[in-house]
Chain A
Amino acid sequence: MMIGSKVDFDINDLYIPKDVKEDIDYQKSFSATLTIIVRDKDGNVIKRYKQKSHSPTANFIGLMIPLTWYVNTGNSWTFKNTSNSTFSYESSIAMPGFGMGYPCSGSNHNDYIVNILVGSGSQSNPYSAYNLNAPISNGSGTGQLLYSSISTPTSITINGSQAYFIISQSYANQSGGTITISEVGIITYLNFTSTTNTTTTPGNTLMWYDVLSSPISVGNGQSVVIYYTFSVNA
Protein backbone atom coordinates (compact mmCIF):
# COMPACT_ATOMS: atom_id res chain seq x y z
CA MET A 1 0.00 0.00 0.00
CA MET A 2 1.30 3.41 -0.85
CA ILE A 3 0.55 4.79 2.57
CA GLY A 4 2.59 2.11 4.25
CA SER A 5 5.66 2.72 2.14
CA LYS A 6 5.37 6.45 2.67
CA VAL A 7 5.16 5.94 6.40
CA ASP A 8 8.24 3.76 6.34
CA PHE A 9 9.97 6.72 4.77
CA ASP A 10 8.44 9.25 7.10
CA ILE A 11 9.55 7.45 10.22
CA ASN A 12 13.11 7.16 9.03
CA ASP A 13 14.87 9.16 11.68
CA LEU A 14 17.24 10.70 9.17
CA TYR A 15 14.31 12.24 7.42
CA ILE A 16 12.62 13.75 10.44
CA PRO A 17 13.17 17.50 10.57
CA LYS A 18 15.60 18.44 13.29
CA ASP A 19 14.95 22.14 13.30
CA VAL A 20 12.65 21.99 16.26
CA LYS A 21 14.11 24.03 19.04
CA GLU A 22 14.84 22.01 22.13
CA ASP A 23 12.67 23.17 24.93
CA ILE A 24 15.27 23.53 27.64
CA ASP A 25 12.67 24.60 30.14
CA TYR A 26 10.66 21.49 29.48
CA GLN A 27 9.14 20.12 32.63
CA LYS A 28 10.01 16.45 32.84
CA SER A 29 6.76 14.55 32.80
CA PHE A 30 8.29 11.54 34.54
CA SER A 31 10.90 11.58 37.26
CA ALA A 32 12.30 9.34 39.94
CA THR A 33 14.02 10.38 43.11
CA LEU A 34 16.20 8.49 45.53
CA THR A 35 16.07 9.75 49.11
CA ILE A 36 18.20 8.39 51.94
CA ILE A 37 17.86 9.26 55.62
CA VAL A 38 20.27 8.04 58.28
CA ARG A 39 19.26 7.98 61.95
CA ASP A 40 21.21 7.32 65.12
CA LYS A 41 20.27 4.63 67.62
CA ASP A 42 17.76 7.01 69.22
CA GLY A 43 16.01 7.73 65.95
CA ASN A 44 17.43 11.21 65.48
CA VAL A 45 18.14 12.20 61.90
CA ILE A 46 21.87 12.64 61.37
CA LYS A 47 22.02 12.77 57.57
CA ARG A 48 19.59 13.40 54.74
CA TYR A 49 20.49 12.85 51.13
CA LYS A 50 18.56 13.08 47.89
CA GLN A 51 19.46 12.61 44.25
CA LYS A 52 17.61 12.18 41.00
CA SER A 53 17.35 8.56 39.96
CA HIS A 54 18.14 7.76 36.35
CA SER A 55 18.38 4.14 35.54
CA PRO A 56 15.86 1.58 34.43
CA THR A 57 17.61 -1.62 33.40
CA ALA A 58 17.03 -3.63 30.23
CA ASN A 59 14.80 -5.90 32.31
CA PHE A 60 12.53 -2.96 33.11
CA ILE A 61 12.37 -1.80 29.50
CA GLY A 62 11.40 -5.29 28.33
CA LEU A 63 8.25 -5.09 30.43
CA MET A 64 7.37 -1.65 29.02
CA ILE A 65 7.26 -2.82 25.42
CA PRO A 66 3.67 -3.28 24.23
CA LEU A 67 2.16 -6.49 22.96
CA THR A 68 2.03 -5.30 19.32
CA TRP A 69 5.82 -5.30 19.08
CA TYR A 70 6.05 -8.90 20.26
CA VAL A 71 3.20 -10.02 17.98
CA ASN A 72 4.19 -8.14 14.81
CA THR A 73 7.91 -8.80 14.96
CA GLY A 74 7.89 -12.25 16.51
CA ASN A 75 10.81 -11.05 18.60
CA SER A 76 11.41 -12.01 22.18
CA TRP A 77 13.06 -10.13 25.03
CA THR A 78 15.87 -11.64 27.03
CA PHE A 79 15.65 -11.15 30.77
CA LYS A 80 18.68 -11.68 32.92
CA ASN A 81 18.24 -12.49 36.59
CA THR A 82 20.57 -11.62 39.44
CA SER A 83 22.44 -14.91 38.91
CA ASN A 84 23.23 -13.88 35.32
CA SER A 85 20.94 -16.56 33.89
CA THR A 86 18.93 -15.56 30.81
CA PHE A 87 15.26 -16.18 30.06
CA SER A 88 13.44 -15.56 26.81
CA TYR A 89 10.05 -13.81 26.98
CA GLU A 90 7.50 -13.20 24.24
CA SER A 91 4.23 -11.63 25.27
CA SER A 92 1.10 -13.02 23.62
CA ILE A 93 -2.66 -13.18 24.04
CA ALA A 94 -3.09 -15.82 21.36
CA MET A 95 -4.23 -18.55 23.67
CA PRO A 96 -2.76 -20.03 25.77
CA GLY A 97 -0.84 -16.74 25.69
CA PHE A 98 2.08 -15.62 27.82
CA GLY A 99 2.62 -12.83 30.31
CA MET A 100 3.33 -11.98 33.93
CA GLY A 101 1.48 -14.19 36.38
CA TYR A 102 -1.63 -12.53 37.81
CA PRO A 103 -3.44 -13.41 41.06
CA CYS A 104 -6.27 -15.79 40.36
CA SER A 105 -8.50 -18.43 41.89
CA GLY A 106 -6.62 -21.14 40.01
CA SER A 107 -2.93 -21.91 39.86
CA ASN A 108 -0.83 -18.96 40.98
CA HIS A 109 2.64 -18.00 39.79
CA ASN A 110 3.51 -15.11 42.05
CA ASP A 111 5.61 -12.20 40.90
CA TYR A 112 6.35 -9.45 43.41
CA ILE A 113 8.80 -6.82 44.53
CA VAL A 114 11.55 -8.38 46.64
CA ASN A 115 13.55 -5.52 48.08
CA ILE A 116 15.58 -2.39 47.55
CA LEU A 117 18.99 -3.98 47.44
CA VAL A 118 21.94 -1.91 48.64
CA GLY A 119 25.57 -2.42 47.80
CA SER A 120 29.07 -1.12 48.32
CA GLY A 121 30.29 -1.15 44.72
CA SER A 122 29.41 0.61 41.49
CA GLN A 123 29.11 -0.06 37.76
CA SER A 124 28.89 2.31 34.87
CA ASN A 125 26.28 0.72 32.59
CA PRO A 126 22.96 0.40 34.40
CA TYR A 127 21.13 -0.72 31.25
CA SER A 128 22.98 -4.02 31.17
CA ALA A 129 23.32 -4.43 34.94
CA TYR A 130 21.77 -7.63 36.24
CA ASN A 131 22.84 -7.34 39.87
CA LEU A 132 24.57 -4.89 42.13
CA ASN A 133 28.32 -4.84 41.81
CA ALA A 134 28.84 -5.67 45.50
CA PRO A 135 25.51 -6.42 47.23
CA ILE A 136 25.39 -6.00 51.00
CA SER A 137 23.82 -9.10 52.45
CA ASN A 138 21.15 -9.29 55.12
CA GLY A 139 22.51 -9.95 58.60
CA SER A 140 24.42 -8.60 61.54
CA GLY A 141 27.81 -9.97 60.63
CA THR A 142 30.77 -8.01 59.36
CA GLY A 143 29.84 -5.94 56.32
CA GLN A 144 26.15 -6.77 56.62
CA LEU A 145 22.96 -4.77 57.19
CA LEU A 146 19.70 -6.01 58.68
CA TYR A 147 17.02 -5.52 56.00
CA SER A 148 13.48 -4.70 57.12
CA SER A 149 10.48 -5.63 54.95
CA ILE A 150 9.93 -3.62 51.79
CA SER A 151 7.17 -1.02 52.08
CA THR A 152 4.84 -0.60 49.14
CA PRO A 153 2.20 2.02 48.32
CA THR A 154 -1.53 1.60 48.75
CA SER A 155 -2.22 3.86 45.82
CA ILE A 156 -0.88 6.69 43.70
CA THR A 157 -0.99 9.99 45.56
CA ILE A 158 -1.98 13.12 43.67
CA ASN A 159 -0.59 16.29 45.19
CA GLY A 160 -1.32 19.36 43.10
CA SER A 161 0.27 18.88 39.70
CA GLN A 162 2.17 15.78 40.74
CA ALA A 163 1.18 12.12 40.99
CA TYR A 164 3.57 9.81 42.75
CA PHE A 165 4.12 6.54 44.57
CA ILE A 166 6.86 5.69 47.01
CA ILE A 167 8.53 2.44 47.92
CA SER A 168 10.89 2.26 50.85
CA GLN A 169 12.99 -0.03 52.94
CA SER A 170 15.03 0.45 56.10
CA TYR A 171 18.23 -1.19 57.22
CA ALA A 172 19.93 -1.42 60.59
CA ASN A 173 23.64 -1.66 61.09
CA GLN A 174 24.49 -4.07 63.87
CA SER A 175 27.67 -5.25 62.24
CA GLY A 176 30.03 -3.67 64.71
CA GLY A 177 31.57 -1.40 62.07
CA THR A 178 30.65 1.33 59.62
CA ILE A 179 28.93 0.24 56.40
CA THR A 180 29.13 2.36 53.25
CA ILE A 181 26.31 2.27 50.70
CA SER A 182 27.29 3.37 47.19
CA GLU A 183 24.78 1.60 44.92
CA VAL A 184 21.07 0.82 45.10
CA GLY A 185 18.77 -1.34 43.02
CA ILE A 186 15.19 -2.60 42.93
CA ILE A 187 14.80 -6.37 42.79
CA THR A 188 11.57 -7.90 41.50
CA TYR A 189 10.72 -11.59 41.38
CA LEU A 190 9.54 -12.35 37.84
CA ASN A 191 7.32 -15.28 36.99
CA PHE A 192 5.84 -15.60 33.51
CA THR A 193 3.05 -18.02 32.68
CA SER A 194 0.51 -19.06 30.08
CA THR A 195 -3.10 -19.85 30.93
CA THR A 196 -2.16 -23.52 30.76
CA ASN A 197 0.54 -23.17 33.42
CA THR A 198 3.56 -23.22 31.13
CA THR A 199 5.97 -21.10 33.11
CA THR A 200 9.25 -19.29 32.77
CA THR A 201 10.64 -18.07 36.05
CA PRO A 202 13.59 -15.69 36.03
CA GLY A 203 13.08 -15.14 39.78
CA ASN A 204 15.01 -12.27 41.36
CA THR A 205 15.63 -9.67 38.66
CA LEU A 206 17.22 -6.21 38.81
CA MET A 207 14.74 -3.68 37.41
CA TRP A 208 16.26 -0.36 38.46
CA TYR A 209 19.79 0.65 39.40
CA ASP A 210 21.50 3.76 40.73
CA VAL A 211 24.98 4.64 41.83
CA LEU A 212 24.97 7.24 44.60
CA SER A 213 26.66 10.52 43.75
CA SER A 214 27.94 10.53 47.33
CA PRO A 215 28.29 7.23 49.19
CA ILE A 216 26.41 7.05 52.49
CA SER A 217 28.13 5.84 55.65
CA VAL A 218 26.01 4.09 58.25
CA GLY A 219 27.73 3.74 61.60
CA ASN A 220 27.32 0.79 63.90
CA GLY A 221 24.02 1.11 65.76
CA GLN A 222 22.61 3.49 63.17
CA SER A 223 19.81 2.82 60.72
CA VAL A 224 19.09 4.08 57.24
CA VAL A 225 15.90 4.24 55.20
CA ILE A 226 15.84 4.44 51.41
CA TYR A 227 12.89 5.88 49.53
CA TYR A 228 12.30 5.59 45.79
CA THR A 229 9.74 8.10 44.54
CA PHE A 230 8.31 7.68 41.04
CA SER A 231 6.22 10.57 39.76
CA VAL A 232 4.59 12.21 36.78
CA ASN A 233 3.99 15.94 36.62
CA ALA A 234 1.15 17.77 34.93
Chain B
Amino acid sequence: MLVSEQIPKEDLDYILEPFKEDKEEDNKQIISEKIIAVVRDAKGNIIDKREQKMKSLTEYYLALMSIPILATYSNPTSNTATSILVNVLGLSSQQYSSDGNSSFITFDTSIQVGSGTQSFSLTLNSLGAPISNGSGIGELIYYSQSVLYTSNSVSQILTVSNNSGNTITVSEIGLMGTIYIAYGNSSGNYTTQPYNFLLSYDTFSSPISIPNGGSASFQIIITFSG
Protein backbone atom coordinates (compact mmCIF):
# COMPACT_ATOMS: atom_id res chain seq x y z
CA MET B 1 0.00 0.00 0.00
CA LEU B 2 1.30 3.45 -0.89
CA VAL B 3 2.19 5.53 2.12
CA SER B 4 2.77 9.22 2.68
CA GLU B 5 6.54 8.93 2.46
CA GLN B 6 6.08 7.84 -1.16
CA ILE B 7 4.31 11.01 -2.16
CA PRO B 8 6.39 12.66 -4.90
CA LYS B 9 8.45 15.50 -3.43
CA GLU B 10 7.07 18.05 -5.89
CA ASP B 11 3.54 17.11 -4.81
CA LEU B 12 4.41 17.21 -1.11
CA ASP B 13 6.05 20.63 -1.45
CA TYR B 14 2.92 21.96 -3.07
CA ILE B 15 0.63 20.28 -0.52
CA LEU B 16 2.51 21.87 2.39
CA GLU B 17 2.94 25.27 0.74
CA PRO B 18 0.94 27.92 2.63
CA PHE B 19 -2.02 29.45 0.87
CA LYS B 20 -0.95 32.62 -0.87
CA GLU B 21 -4.24 34.34 -0.25
CA ASP B 22 -7.09 33.74 2.08
CA LYS B 23 -10.47 34.04 0.46
CA GLU B 24 -13.27 34.91 2.85
CA GLU B 25 -14.95 31.56 2.38
CA ASP B 26 -11.67 29.82 3.12
CA ASN B 27 -11.60 31.29 6.61
CA LYS B 28 -14.58 29.24 7.67
CA GLN B 29 -13.26 26.98 10.39
CA ILE B 30 -13.91 23.24 10.26
CA ILE B 31 -13.59 23.00 14.00
CA SER B 32 -13.75 25.94 16.35
CA GLU B 33 -12.98 25.59 20.03
CA LYS B 34 -13.88 27.81 22.93
CA ILE B 35 -13.27 27.78 26.68
CA ILE B 36 -15.68 29.33 29.17
CA ALA B 37 -15.08 29.69 32.89
CA VAL B 38 -17.49 31.03 35.50
CA VAL B 39 -16.32 31.45 39.11
CA ARG B 40 -18.59 31.90 42.14
CA ASP B 41 -17.81 32.83 45.70
CA ALA B 42 -19.02 30.92 48.74
CA LYS B 43 -22.41 32.65 48.52
CA GLY B 44 -22.94 31.71 44.91
CA ASN B 45 -22.25 35.14 43.48
CA ILE B 46 -20.40 35.28 40.20
CA ILE B 47 -17.01 36.88 40.73
CA ASP B 48 -15.24 36.08 37.47
CA LYS B 49 -16.23 35.15 33.94
CA ARG B 50 -13.94 34.19 31.07
CA GLU B 51 -14.40 33.23 27.49
CA GLN B 52 -11.46 32.58 25.23
CA LYS B 53 -10.68 30.66 22.12
CA MET B 54 -8.94 27.38 22.54
CA LYS B 55 -5.79 27.35 20.47
CA SER B 56 -3.81 24.25 21.13
CA LEU B 57 -4.86 20.86 19.86
CA THR B 58 -2.25 18.14 20.20
CA GLU B 59 -1.30 15.47 17.69
CA TYR B 60 -3.37 13.08 19.80
CA TYR B 61 -6.51 15.00 18.90
CA LEU B 62 -5.53 14.64 15.25
CA ALA B 63 -5.03 10.92 15.83
CA LEU B 64 -8.47 10.70 17.44
CA MET B 65 -9.92 12.48 14.42
CA SER B 66 -8.30 9.90 12.17
CA ILE B 67 -10.70 7.24 13.48
CA PRO B 68 -13.85 8.44 11.66
CA ILE B 69 -11.78 8.84 8.48
CA LEU B 70 -9.39 5.89 8.47
CA ALA B 71 -11.45 3.72 10.85
CA THR B 72 -9.54 1.15 12.92
CA TYR B 73 -8.45 -1.59 10.52
CA SER B 74 -5.48 -1.02 8.24
CA ASN B 75 -7.38 -2.51 5.31
CA PRO B 76 -10.46 -4.64 4.57
CA THR B 77 -8.73 -7.99 4.92
CA SER B 78 -5.99 -7.48 7.50
CA ASN B 79 -6.83 -7.81 11.17
CA THR B 80 -4.35 -5.16 12.27
CA ALA B 81 -5.00 -1.61 13.40
CA THR B 82 -4.14 1.51 11.41
CA SER B 83 -0.60 2.78 11.74
CA ILE B 84 -1.71 6.00 13.44
CA LEU B 85 -3.53 4.11 16.19
CA VAL B 86 -0.48 1.95 16.78
CA ASN B 87 2.36 4.42 16.21
CA VAL B 88 0.87 7.62 17.64
CA LEU B 89 -1.61 6.44 20.24
CA GLY B 90 0.21 3.26 21.20
CA LEU B 91 -2.84 1.01 20.85
CA SER B 92 -2.40 -2.70 20.29
CA SER B 93 -2.11 -3.64 16.66
CA GLN B 94 -4.37 -6.58 17.45
CA GLN B 95 -6.27 -6.97 20.70
CA TYR B 96 -6.09 -10.43 22.26
CA SER B 97 -9.60 -11.70 22.89
CA SER B 98 -9.54 -14.88 24.91
CA ASP B 99 -13.10 -15.92 24.23
CA GLY B 100 -12.93 -15.68 20.46
CA ASN B 101 -15.50 -12.92 20.43
CA SER B 102 -15.06 -9.47 18.99
CA SER B 103 -13.38 -6.34 20.23
CA PHE B 104 -14.43 -2.74 19.80
CA ILE B 105 -13.20 0.78 20.40
CA THR B 106 -14.85 3.88 21.82
CA PHE B 107 -13.64 7.02 23.58
CA ASP B 108 -14.49 9.54 26.26
CA THR B 109 -13.27 12.99 27.28
CA SER B 110 -12.85 14.99 30.47
CA ILE B 111 -11.55 18.39 31.53
CA GLN B 112 -8.59 18.74 33.83
CA VAL B 113 -7.38 22.00 35.33
CA GLY B 114 -3.99 22.88 36.71
CA SER B 115 -1.94 25.52 38.44
CA GLY B 116 1.12 25.46 36.22
CA THR B 117 2.11 26.82 32.86
CA GLN B 118 4.25 25.31 30.15
CA SER B 119 5.07 25.86 26.53
CA PHE B 120 2.73 24.06 24.19
CA SER B 121 4.03 21.27 22.03
CA LEU B 122 2.11 19.03 19.66
CA THR B 123 3.19 15.99 21.68
CA LEU B 124 2.34 17.39 25.10
CA ASN B 125 0.69 14.70 27.19
CA SER B 126 -0.10 16.28 30.56
CA LEU B 127 -0.76 19.57 32.31
CA GLY B 128 2.16 21.34 33.92
CA ALA B 129 0.76 21.00 37.44
CA PRO B 130 -2.58 19.18 37.51
CA ILE B 131 -4.83 20.02 40.45
CA SER B 132 -5.93 16.78 42.02
CA ASN B 133 -9.40 15.85 43.22
CA GLY B 134 -9.94 16.33 46.94
CA SER B 135 -10.37 18.81 49.74
CA GLY B 136 -6.77 18.89 50.93
CA ILE B 137 -4.29 21.70 50.47
CA GLY B 138 -4.09 22.73 46.83
CA GLU B 139 -6.92 20.42 45.79
CA LEU B 140 -10.31 20.96 44.17
CA ILE B 141 -13.34 18.70 44.36
CA TYR B 142 -14.21 17.54 40.84
CA TYR B 143 -17.87 16.76 40.23
CA SER B 144 -19.12 14.40 37.57
CA GLN B 145 -18.61 15.85 34.14
CA SER B 146 -21.30 16.19 31.55
CA VAL B 147 -21.40 16.44 27.78
CA LEU B 148 -23.99 18.33 25.78
CA TYR B 149 -24.56 18.21 22.05
CA THR B 150 -26.50 20.87 20.20
CA SER B 151 -26.23 22.24 16.68
CA ASN B 152 -22.91 20.62 15.77
CA SER B 153 -21.34 21.65 19.09
CA VAL B 154 -20.00 19.25 21.69
CA SER B 155 -19.70 20.87 25.13
CA GLN B 156 -17.71 19.29 27.92
CA ILE B 157 -18.52 20.73 31.34
CA LEU B 158 -16.58 20.39 34.58
CA THR B 159 -17.64 21.83 37.91
CA VAL B 160 -15.23 22.09 40.83
CA SER B 161 -15.52 23.43 44.35
CA ASN B 162 -12.82 24.60 46.65
CA ASN B 163 -12.92 23.21 50.18
CA SER B 164 -9.17 23.35 50.63
CA GLY B 165 -9.13 26.19 53.12
CA ASN B 166 -7.30 28.55 50.79
CA THR B 167 -7.71 30.21 47.42
CA ILE B 168 -6.81 27.92 44.52
CA THR B 169 -5.41 29.41 41.34
CA VAL B 170 -6.20 27.78 38.00
CA SER B 171 -3.86 28.80 35.21
CA GLU B 172 -4.12 25.94 32.70
CA ILE B 173 -6.82 23.70 31.29
CA GLY B 174 -6.69 20.55 29.22
CA LEU B 175 -9.14 18.25 27.49
CA MET B 176 -8.15 14.69 28.30
CA GLY B 177 -9.16 11.78 26.10
CA THR B 178 -9.50 8.12 26.98
CA ILE B 179 -9.78 5.49 24.29
CA TYR B 180 -11.22 2.20 25.44
CA ILE B 181 -10.66 -1.11 23.73
CA ALA B 182 -13.21 -3.64 24.97
CA TYR B 183 -12.50 -7.36 24.69
CA GLY B 184 -12.95 -10.73 26.33
CA ASN B 185 -10.25 -11.28 28.97
CA SER B 186 -8.50 -14.39 30.25
CA SER B 187 -11.05 -14.82 33.05
CA GLY B 188 -13.80 -15.31 30.57
CA ASN B 189 -15.25 -11.88 31.27
CA TYR B 190 -15.29 -8.69 29.28
CA THR B 191 -13.06 -5.80 30.16
CA THR B 192 -11.74 -2.54 28.76
CA GLN B 193 -8.20 -1.40 28.20
CA PRO B 194 -7.99 2.40 28.58
CA TYR B 195 -5.44 4.62 26.82
CA ASN B 196 -5.17 8.22 28.04
CA PHE B 197 -4.09 11.29 26.07
CA LEU B 198 -4.03 15.05 26.28
CA LEU B 199 -6.16 16.30 23.41
CA SER B 200 -5.81 20.05 23.99
CA TYR B 201 -3.86 22.38 26.24
CA ASP B 202 -4.44 26.04 26.97
CA THR B 203 -3.42 28.57 29.56
CA PHE B 204 -5.71 31.33 30.72
CA SER B 205 -4.72 34.83 29.74
CA SER B 206 -4.58 35.54 33.46
CA PRO B 207 -4.95 32.95 36.22
CA ILE B 208 -8.38 32.25 37.70
CA SER B 209 -8.71 32.41 41.47
CA ILE B 210 -11.30 30.23 43.21
CA PRO B 211 -11.77 31.36 46.81
CA ASN B 212 -12.17 28.90 49.62
CA GLY B 213 -15.81 27.81 49.71
CA GLY B 214 -16.26 28.94 46.12
CA SER B 215 -16.85 26.99 42.95
CA ALA B 216 -16.15 27.22 39.25
CA SER B 217 -17.49 25.72 36.08
CA PHE B 218 -15.30 25.16 33.06
CA GLN B 219 -16.72 24.46 29.67
CA ILE B 220 -14.89 23.44 26.49
CA ILE B 221 -17.02 23.77 23.37
CA ILE B 222 -15.95 22.16 20.11
CA THR B 223 -18.06 23.15 17.15
CA PHE B 224 -17.92 21.36 13.83
CA SER B 225 -18.78 23.12 10.63
CA GLY B 226 -21.52 21.50 8.71
* B-binding residues in A (CB < 8 A): 2-4, 6-7, 10-11, 16-17, 20, 23, 26-33, 35, 37, 45, 48, 50-61, 63-69, 72-73, 75, 91-93, 95-113, 126-127, 149, 151-159, 161-168, 186, 188-190, 192-197, 199, 207-208, 213, 225, 227, 229-232, 234
| Residue with the greatest number of chain A CB neighbours at <10 A, chosen from B38, B59, B83 | B59
The 3 closest A-B pairs by CB, nearest first: A127-B226, A106-B97, A104-B103
Task: Decide if A163 touches B1 in the complex (CB within 8 Å).
Answer: no
B192: which A residues are within 8 A, CB to CB?
93, 97
Nearest A residue to B109, CB-CB: A66
Task: Decide if A102 touches B95 in the complex (CB within 8 Å).
Answer: yes
B102 vs chain A, min Cβ distance (A): 4
Task: Decide if A112 touches B1 in the complex (CB within 8 Å).
Answer: no
Q: A234's contact among B56, B78, B159, B222, by CB below 8 Å, is which?
A: B56
Task: Decide if A104 touches B159 in the complex (CB within 8 Å).
Answer: no
Mark the stretch among B125-133, B166-174, B178-186 that contacts chain A.
B178-186
Given contacts A30-B30, A64-B224, A106-B103, 16 further A-B contacts (CB under 8 A): A11-B36, A29-B57, A56-B226, A64-B64, A93-B182, A101-B72, A101-B103, A102-B181, A107-B101, A108-B73, A108-B79, A151-B3, A151-B6, A154-B5, A159-B16, A229-B15
- Report if A11-B217 is in contact (Cβ < 8 Å); known contacts: A66-B147, A197-B102, A230-B62: yes
Nearest B residue to A129, CB-CB: B226
Task: Decide if A190 touches B71 in the complex (CB within 8 Å).
Answer: yes
- Report if A127-B152 is in contact (Cβ < 8 Å); known contacts: A155-B84, A155-B87: yes
Task: Decide if B121 touches A234 in the complex (CB within 8 Å).
Answer: yes
Q: A59's contact among B10, B68, B70, by CB below 8 Å, is which?
A: B68
Interface of B is mostly: mixed
A68: which B residues are within 8 A, CB to CB?
108-109, 145-147
Task: Decide if B94 touches A51 in the complex (CB within 8 Å).
Answer: no
Give bound CA distance, A39 to B87, whole Å: 33
A35: which B residues are within 8 A, CB to CB?
11, 14-15
Q: B226's contact among A61, A97, A165, by CB below 8 Å, is which?
A: A61
Nearest A residue to B106, CB-CB: A99
Give bound CA distance, A98 to B105, whole Å: 8
A93 vs chain B, min Cβ distance (A): 5
- Quick check: is B165 within 8 A (CB to CB) of the other chain? no
Give bound CA distance, A186 to B219, whole Å: 31
Task: Decide if B68 touches A103 in the complex (CB within 8 Å).
Answer: no
A51: which B residues are within 8 A, CB to CB?
26
B35-73 interface (Cβ within 8 A of A): 36, 38, 40, 44, 46, 49, 51-59, 61-73
Give bound CA distance, A98 to B5, whole Å: 35
B107-125 interface (Cβ within 8 A of A): 107-109, 120-123
Task: Decide if A100 touches B71 in the complex (CB within 8 Å).
Answer: yes
Task: Decide if A110 touches B4 in the complex (CB within 8 Å).
Answer: no
A102: which B residues are within 8 A, CB to CB?
72, 81, 95, 102-105, 181, 183
Give bound CA distance, A37 to B181, whole Å: 39
Query: Could you list some 14 contacts between A and B, CB below 8 A?
Result: A60-B69, A72-B147, A100-B67, A104-B97, A107-B102, A151-B3, A152-B70, A152-B74, A154-B83, A189-B76, A192-B104, A199-B102, A229-B15, A234-B122
| Residue with the greatest number of chain B CB neighbours at <10 A, chosen from A51, A156, A168, A225 | A156
A98: which B residues are within 8 A, CB to CB?
104, 106
Task: Decide if A113 touches B69 in the complex (CB within 8 Å).
Answer: yes
Give bound CA distance, A110 to B104, whole Å: 10
- Quick check: is B157 within 8 A (CB to CB) of the other chain? yes
B118 vs chain A, min Cβ distance (A): 13
A110: which B residues are within 8 A, CB to CB?
73, 76-77, 79
Task: Decide if B73 touches A155 in the complex (CB within 8 Å).
Answer: no
